Amino acid sequence: LLLASRAPRRHHQGMAKHSEFRLIDRLARATRVPRRDVVHGIGDDAAVLRVPARHELVVSMDTLISGVHFPENTAPVDIGWKTLAVNLSDMAAMGATPAWATLALTMPRGDARWIDAFARGFARLARQHNVALVGGDTTRGALSITVQAHGFVPQGRAVLRSGARVGHRVYVSGTLGDGAAGLALVQKRLRTRNAAAVKFLRARLDRPVPRVGLGVALRGIAGACIDVSDGLAQDLGHVLRASGVGAAIELSRLPVSRALRAVGVDDATLQRWQLGGGDDYELCFTAAPKHAATIAAIATRLRVPITDVGRIERGDALELRDNTGRPVARSRAGHDHFA
């Protein structure tokens, strides 16, 4: 059911009809992005949309729960941004060009100020990528936001997790561990007087930048791709499992931001955050060595750092190596999640 179409069933204890309609109106106004492929947007029982010829539709859905996926004191403007960002990050990981979003917003009461701030954050990112909000639902309950992103790829050009091949290099965009450091700052497990570092790391946690342009540029170049949302070890593990391969990662190559270096955590913490922290929303992808120059050119053109961190190997293990090439840890990527 679409935003403008649905009040909660009145015999239950839904949000008051009038306040809901006003909230929807605010959201729709703030996020309006005109697109010719939206035949009918918000305001009917469903949206009617046009996928371009010779393209496939790519859809991802992600729920953010207050206190689980973002700290409870996160500013609503950042929640609005992040809820769209994590979905656009999935579009990026597929090499898809994002087009439309739907939004299911559950909140305890109809709070117009909260909605306005949320909509501002959502709309800012939506406009950057020309993403139209085409529908959704608002309901009353504990704060929770589900967004579905919709994008396009030319037929057969989606970049999957299953395309990693032995001999491919493993790359990551941007830097790793910043999201985890940002969360540690929020939770006061990390303290620093470096205000610039705090600002940078908090922004990395609260307003992740989905690598949409990079994802599109990697079509036909990357063998496999995934976004780093749960930590490199786990996310690369998904690629290895889907592709039936192993990988060796050189720990000293993992890209670290200046801000994260500046806060001065010990090596074990840094490594834990980089490999397992999550919330970085960078892309991890594999590519044949022959594409190295092209990838360097893409990095320059898009001004996105891209780092070669290791290699796809035979087997099913993710092996971590120190800078002398000696293995320091090893996990069986293919089985972790089904133990």
Position among 226, 265, 306, 320 found at the interface with a copy of itself (CB under 8 A)? 226
Nearer to a copy of itself, 21 or 116 (CB): 21
Report the alpha-carbon distance of residue 84 to residue 131 in Å, rounded: 10
Torsion, CA 307, CA 131, CA 45, CA 80, rounded to 10: 70
Nearer to a copy of itself, 68 or 196 (CB): 68
Q: How many CB atoms lie within 10 A of CB 288?
A: 14
**Pairing, β 327-332 against β 306-313:** unpaired
Residue 329 interacting with a copy of itself (CB under 8 A): no
- Per CB under 8 A, contacts with a copy of itself among 5-34 are 5-14, 17-18, 21
Contact (CB, 8 A) for 60 and 147: no
- Per CB under 8 A, contacts with a copy of itself among 134-193 are 134-137, 139-142, 144, 146, 148-151, 153, 155, 158, 160-162, 180, 183
Nearer to a copy of itself, 106 or 307 (CB): 106
Q: How far apart are the first and last CA of the chain?
A: 39
Q: How many CB atoms lie within 10 A of CB 164?
A: 27
The 8-class DSSP code of residue 129 comes to T
Q: How many residues sit close enough to a copy of itself to count as binding (CB under 8 A)?
A: 88
Which of 259, 258, 257, 224 is closest to 333 using CA atoms?
224
Position among 33, 42, 69, 298 found at the interface with a copy of itself (CB under 8 A)? 69
Map residues 77-106 to x or -, x wherever contact with a copy of itself holds by CB under 8 A: ---------xx--xx-xx-x-----xxx-x
- How far is CA 189 from its chain centroid? 24
* Least Cβ distance, residue 326 to a copy of itself (angstroms): 27
Position among 110, 208, 223, 277 found at the interface with a copy of itself (CB under 8 A)? 277
**Pairing, β 97-107 against β 132-140:** parallel
* Least Cβ distance, residue 45 to a copy of itself (angstroms): 4
Contact (CB, 8 A) for 39 and 49: yes
Nearer to a copy of itself, 258 or 337 (CB): 337
* Least Cβ distance, residue 141 to a copy of itself (angstroms): 4
* Least Cβ distance, residue 325 to a copy of itself (angstroms): 29
Backbone angles phi, psi at 174, to 5 degrees: 55, -140
